[in-house]
Amino acid sequence: MYLDFRKQVETLLNETISHLGIETIDLDLEPSKHADLASKVAFRIASREKKDPKELAGAIVKAANVKKFPLIGKMSAMGPYININTSRNYIEETISRIRSEGTSFGGGFCEGQILLEHTSANPNGPLHVGHIRNSVIGDTLVRILRKAGYNVETHYYVNDMGRQIAIVSWALSHFEFDTSKKSDHSIADVYIEANAKLGEEPEKVMEIDKLMQLVEKGDEATIKSFSEAVLLALDGIKETLSRMNIRHDSFPYESTFVRSGAVTRIIEEIKATGRTKVDNGALVLDLEDYGFDKELVVQRSDGTSLYITRDLAYHEWKGERADRVINILGADHKLISGQLKATLDLLGKPEPEVVIFEFVSLPEGSMSTRRGKFISADELLDQVEEQAFVEVDMRRPEMPEDFKQKVAHMVGIGAVRYDVIRVSPEKSTVFNWKEALDFEKQGAPFIQYSHARACSILNKAQEEGIYNETFDMEPSLLVEDTEVELIKKMAAFDSIIEECARELKPHTLAIYARELAEAFNQFYRFVPVINIDDDKLKATRLGLVDCARIVLAISLDTLGIDAPKSM
């Protein structure tokens, strides 16, 4: 809704400025605390034409034909700033749209095909608390982009032929596999054991190299043993992801690009650029003019492919199938993804948009699956749900066990997801048990609570027969400050989605959802809803509660957090 208002303001200002005989220029619009939208365009014109910005702002406001635009209310100049407010019509239109559009409110303004890859952790163990930052950022972006209107396909790119997997496969034939545990955890056990062994007896590394060559050549037995190892880990990983409301549409395997011949083809293309040479038997590519000092190794001296080469083939494939290709990657991939983009550019192929997130480390240092130094996602989720159960039990002791468990799950997962997504990806963090288990009052539970509260109010009203979705509302009766604030907040939802989708910054939505919940709580605190005599006003306010319920539910859903009807 806010996007429509903004568009009208843009049209109005452009018309007005050109009417004044001034060349069009960046309108420099921004939301402001002084108005629903503010323009700094007077500064821009002033510096170009050596005029007084205050006078210009005044002149523009005076010349503007506001009446033509139904969503625009008051427009005024405050010094050099032009402040624009929404109209009463905007408020009432917002209400009627939420009621008619329901859960599709606030989205659907973009179109196109997107391929988004996230998580893609090596199948050599369970997801740990660092990996889930990738998963949560990725999945939230997927939900945001879908809400915006894109058709999004999600990928988990599976490394099924790298060195790590060769080690896992080797480990499975040398060490005991514990079938009593979740399979991804048992894979980690043998992987850690194998790495320790290889450290003690370096001559065994040759056996790993041998396995890699066999796989690359297409040796059936080796391929089968690799893929068994991968599936064991992947099954466990999928289970963890699904616990966090995350699922991928497809799991492309690295090996398919080797077997299809795509890797060989792309190596030929790279050679054809004339920028490669053979160094100690390995094929290397010069990317110095892209700012990379060191040459990029594209093929090993024994002829086997490398991660980067397979990834190039994968990206070529992705680029042919989508308008936007997005990857969520950890900070350790900064350099390699830069090299990947440079190489794709060199080959004239579309480059992916890369979202990099910084690492989550432990107080004692960085995490490592290989060394067994990590906190698994499963462990975190178990602990958090357990703590959430304690909280529910404390507040709703009379409720049955399965209710408490269900709520504890929703609240626990919500808390973890919210905690990850509220921080912008470029901040590195240190994992801390005490903080992880502390249910921040204004985090996910706060938003979920607001939703449950709205549901419960409506439920009560329906039982008493004083409200249902078809009741007539009279939006003109909604004039209290807290009511208007709540409505404006709901109206802004589309602009938040638009911004998150454009800049790939999901944390803004987390903040928004919290503010929306806050606006609802304030409204409900200050304005009587059920306990009033005026039936029309009562139905109207209940209708507003219903709208808030809808937008809270959409917001939570877009964050991948369950919206409980009661908690």
Partner RNA sequence: GAGACCAUAGCUCAGCUGGAUAGAGCAUCAGUUUGCGGAACUGAGGGUCGGAGGUUCGAAUCCUCUUGGUCUCACCA
Residue list 360-419, contact with RNA (CB under 7 A): 361, 366, 388, 391-392, 395-396, 407, 411
Spatial neighbors of 334 by CB under 8 A, at least 6 apart, are 356
Q: Residue 73 Cβ, how far from RNA at the closest point, in Å?
A: 15
Whole-angstrom distance between the N-terminal and C-terminal Cα of the chain? 31
Per rule CB under 7 A, is residue 213 in the interface with RNA?
A: no
Residue numbers 81-120 binding RNA by CB under 7 A = 81, 83
Q: Does 452 bind RNA (CB under 7 A)?
A: yes
Distance, in Å, from the CA atom of 153 to the CA atom of 479, rounded to the nearest integer, reads 43
Binding residue for RNA (CB under 7 A) from 320, 440, 469, 534? 440
Which sign, positive or negative, has the C-alpha torsion 379, 382, 385, 386? negative
Whether 417 contacts 244, CB under 8 Å? yes
**Closer residue to RNA in complex, CB, 66/527:** 527
Stretch 152-191 residues interacting with RNA (CB under 7 A):
159, 162-164
The answer to whether 493 and 105 are in contact (CB under 8 A) is yes
Backbone torsions φ then ψ of 491, nearest 5 degrees: -60, -30
* 261 makes contact with RNA (CB under 7 A): no
Phi first, then psi, for residue 185 (nearest 5°) are -70, -40
Q: Among residues 184 and 254, whose Cβ is nearest to RNA?
A: 254
Closer to RNA by Cβ: residue 94 or 122: 122
Single residue of 198, 214, 231, 297 touching RNA by CB under 7 A: 297
Rounded CA-CA distance 81/6 in Å is 16
Residue given tokens 């039982």 in the structure block: 463
Dihedral of CA atoms 387, 390, 396, 398 in degrees, nearest 10, equals: 140
- Specify the stretch interacting with RNA by CB under 7 A; choose among 135-143, 144-152, 170-178, 437-445: 437-445
Count of residues that bind RNA according to CB under 7 A: 96
How far is 153 from 276, CA to CA, in rounded Å? 35
> CB of residue 262 vs RNA: minimum separation in angstroms?
16
Q: Where would I find the H helices in 201-285?
A: 205-217, 220-243, 254-259, 262-272
| Least spacing, CB of residue 319 vs RNA, in Å | 20
Q: What mask, x for binding RNA by CB under 7 A, covers residues 318 to 357? A: -------------xxxxxx---------------------
Residue from 175, 359, 431, 471 touching RNA (CB under 7 A): that is 359
Candidate list 5, 156, 439, 467; residue touching RNA; CB under 7 A: 439
Q: Measured on CA atoms in the order 526, 532, 537, 541, is the torsion positive or negative?
A: positive
Q: Quick check: 322 and 311 in contact, CB under 8 A?
A: no
Instruction: Scan residues 504-533 and list those touching RNA (CB under 7 A).
Output: 505, 507-508, 511, 514, 517-518, 521-522, 524-531
Q: Applying CB under 7 A, does 537 fall inside the site for RNA? A: no
CB neighbours of residue 153 within 10 Å = 17
Of 79, 102, 112, 261, the one binding RNA (CB under 7 A) is 79
Part of the chain binding RNA (CB under 7 A), chosen from 106-114, 245-253, 446-454, 486-494:
446-454
